[in-house]
Amino acid sequence: MFSFRQKIFISYIGVFLLFLVLLFPFATKTVDEIVAKTMSDRADEMIVKLKEAKTDDALIRRMKELKWMIFFRVSIITDERKVLYDSHAKKLLGPSFSQDYTLDHPEVAQAFRVGVGYYEGYSRLFKQDFAYMAKAFDFHGKTYVLRMAFPYRYIISLTRDFEIGFLGLATLVLLLFSIMTWFIINHLTNPIQQIIRAVKPYQEGTQNVIPEIRIRSSNTKDDFGKLAMTLNSLSQRIQSHINSLTMERNEKEAVLESLVEGVVAVDNSMVVQFANAMALKFLEKDKDTILGKNFSSSEKPSWEELLKRCQDKEEVLKISERLKIEGRTLFLDIVAAPKKARSGAILVIQDNTSQHKILEMRKDFIANASHELKTPITVIRGFAETLHDNPELPLETTTEITGKIVRSCERMTTLIKDLLTLADIEHLQESRLVPCDIIEILEVCVSMLQDAHPTAEVIFNLGQTDSIAISADKQLMELALWNLLENAAKYSNPPAHITVLVEDRSEDVVITIADKGIGIPPEDVEHIFQRFYTVNRMHSKKMGGAGLGLSLVETIISKHNGKISVESEVGKGTTFTIRLPKRPSTN
């Protein structure tokens, strides 16, 4: 494409060439008209002087006197078409020339007919082309014709000179005009070029922002200056809209990226337009391999089919799937919703694994609680029926049976108490967390342990402090620490060796309770905090446990915004580490 200046320059060249094409016929016609006009004017002057003659002889004498006015050849023809006088006839024809010589040329005939005649033709006498002019005039009541001849080669030479002169002058004028026009256009279009140069980097994509247009002109308030100001104003408004849209898009993307659900957007051709981090995790892909690409049916054919069906039916569709990702089994709900105007669809991937686990835990809890309650109830009922059916049993047998009934009742009481405690912990309020001394709580628990297990050896290491204040529910914290200390004693061969270490840090308190007991198998370590989970069911029943103790501990620590971890090795012992914040959480 040509620039505006180039178009102007090419237009001038075209005009100049057209001028050259039209110049030659115009020049020829112009010269012919000039010669004809000159001959006509000269003929008029001669006719005025010839009319003063009284006779034909006087007319001839007057013609001879007017030779200085003759172009080349001149003749006078009478009304009888006879040559009365010819300035060159005697030289060419000699003495044989007679005034009775009749001349009937086209220009003469035309002059007699309409008054003026003009003709260009070849002269056999002079062996060359002539331009003839004939003009009729009244001479004493008769019509005479004055005929003039002019060599055509002079006309051609005059035409050539005229063309060259006119061409040179026209070329000079055109050149000067073109130069002036070029400078004027260059001056006028320079602001436009400045505007184009300013905007071009944004058009080419080398700049992300439309730059400000600055006009280097002597008059910045002219039309181009106003145009630049208008473009700058529009640019600012457009950039403002772009910034708003970009901010809005970034906010939406940030919101979508922060979702725990996976979100995938496709257009009506199933090309992926957006996928957040969670969706990429579920799809096990990265952005470069999915964005701008067709949603692959090879990976998740059921998901692709769901996207297509929701667009065809224009309604929200949902399926549930079980998926294994990075070694973990996930339970997912996949929801597909069509966009407006059939422009694509949105796929939402919801991870319901935790809810599924909660449901499973509830089922297991009910089953385990029912089982744990059913066993002592069955024992109590059996022994009660035995007493009822055998009232004459010996006293020692009756005493043994009633003792077992009492122990079963105590087991049920402990189980129900633990269940109620768990329910109470789940609804622990912040108002129950009050300042208390964790050292004091530990000392109470250690004292209780030594009363319950006199043979146990406890090493209590407090470091450099005698008191550490935390925010806690004192009774629940005492219950959690007591459970850990009692387990350390119960699951150790007598005498139990227990170490309690307290570390006072700037933000939290670290409590470590270690024993040298029987330890926990590696496959059971990750499950010990689950409710009703027991490593050795027979040993737990023997100890009177129902598998709720460590679950109580983990729940209490969690409700105090703390963390508990365990390390264990079979035959060498177990270590529990508790981290508790000194100040309550602001959440």
Q: pLDDT value at position 366? A: 61
Element holding 399 (H helix, E strand): helix 395-426
Give backbone dihedrals phi and psi of 74, rounded to 5 degrees, phi first.
-140, 145
Q: pLDDT value at position 499? A: 92
> Architecture of 356-424 per CATH?
Orthogonal Bundle (1.10)
Pairing relation of β-strands 317-325 and 328-338?
Answer: antiparallel
- The Cα-based distances of 207 to 194, 235, 248 in angstroms read 17, 14, 21
**Per-residue pLDDT tens over the stretch 21-34:** 776 676 667 767 77
Residue 87 CB-half CA count within 13 A:
19
Q: pLDDT value at position 370? A: 63
Closest CA to 145 of 182, 112, 101, 184: 112
DSSP-derived letter for residue 260 is S
- CB-CB contact of 458 with 503 (8 Å): no
Residue 508 CA to residue 500 CA, distance in Å, equals: 17
- Contacts of 232 by beta carbon, 8 Å cutoff, 6+ apart: 212, 213
Q: CATH 3.30.565.10: does it fit domain 428-581?
A: yes
User: Which alpha helices (H) appear in 205-219, and where do they start and end?
Assistant: none
Q: pLDDT value at position 224? A: 64
Closest CA to 479 of 529, 445, 430: 445
3-state SS assignment for residue 120? strand
- The Cα-based distances of 270 to 308, 373, 434, 492 in angstroms read 8, 56, 58, 63
Closest CA to 73 of 117, 132, 31: 132
Q: Which stretches of the chain score pLDDT less than 70?
A: 1-6, 8-9, 12, 16, 19-20, 23-24, 26-28, 31, 67-72, 89-103, 163, 188-189, 191, 205, 208-225, 228, 296-299, 327, 356-375, 411, 414-415, 418-431, 531-547, 583-587
- CB-CB contact of 63 with 74 (8 Å): yes
- CB-CB contact of 70 with 87 (8 Å): yes
- CB-CB contact of 166 with 27 (8 Å): yes
Residue 433 CA to residue 474 CA, distance in Å, equals: 8
Measure CA 433 to chain center.
Answer: 52
- The Cα-based distances of 120 to 28, 37, 134 in angstroms read 13, 14, 12
- The Cα-based distances of 312 to 271, 274, 300, 375 in angstroms read 16, 21, 19, 57
- CB-CB contact of 170 with 96 (8 Å): no
Residue-range domain boundaries for the chain: 4-159, 259-350, 356-424, 428-581
Residue 284 CA to residue 306 CA, distance in Å, equals: 19
Measure CA 557 to chain center.
Answer: 49
Closest CA to 421 of 258, 252, 553, 257: 553
Sign of CA dihedral 294, 299, 305, 311: negative
Question: What's the N-to-C CA distance of the chain in angstroms?
Answer: 66
Question: Tokens in use for 136?
Answer: 């009729």
Amino acid at 212: E
Closest CA to 56 of 94, 92, 82: 82
Residue 347 CB-half CA count within 13 A:
32
Amino acid at 295: F
Measure CA 508 to chain center.
Answer: 48
Amino acid at 571: G
Give backbone dihedrals phi and psi of 199, rounded to 5 degrees, phi first.
-85, -20
- Contacts of 502 by beta carbon, 8 Å cutoff, 6+ apart: 438, 439, 442, 461, 462, 463, 465, 468, 509, 510, 511, 512
- CB-CB contact of 383 with 401 (8 Å): yes
- Contacts of 141 by beta carbon, 8 Å cutoff, 6+ apart: none
Q: Do domains 356-424 and 428-581 have the same CATH topology?
A: no
Amino acid at 382: G
CA 455-456-458 angle, to 5 degrees, is 140
Q: pLDDT value at position 251? A: 77
Residue 568 CA to residue 378 CA, distance in Å, equals: 36
> Architecture of 4-159 per CATH?
2-Layer Sandwich (3.30)
Q: pLDDT value at position 574? A: 92
Residue 335 CA to residue 318 CA, distance in Å, equals: 4
Domain boundaries 259-350, CATH class: alpha beta
Pairing relation of β-strands 457-461 and 497-504?
Answer: parallel
- Positions of E strands within 140-180: 142-151
Residue 101 CA to residue 78 CA, distance in Å, equals: 11
Question: Tokens in use for 282?
Answer: 């579920």
Question: Tokens in use for 122?
Answer: 């070849």
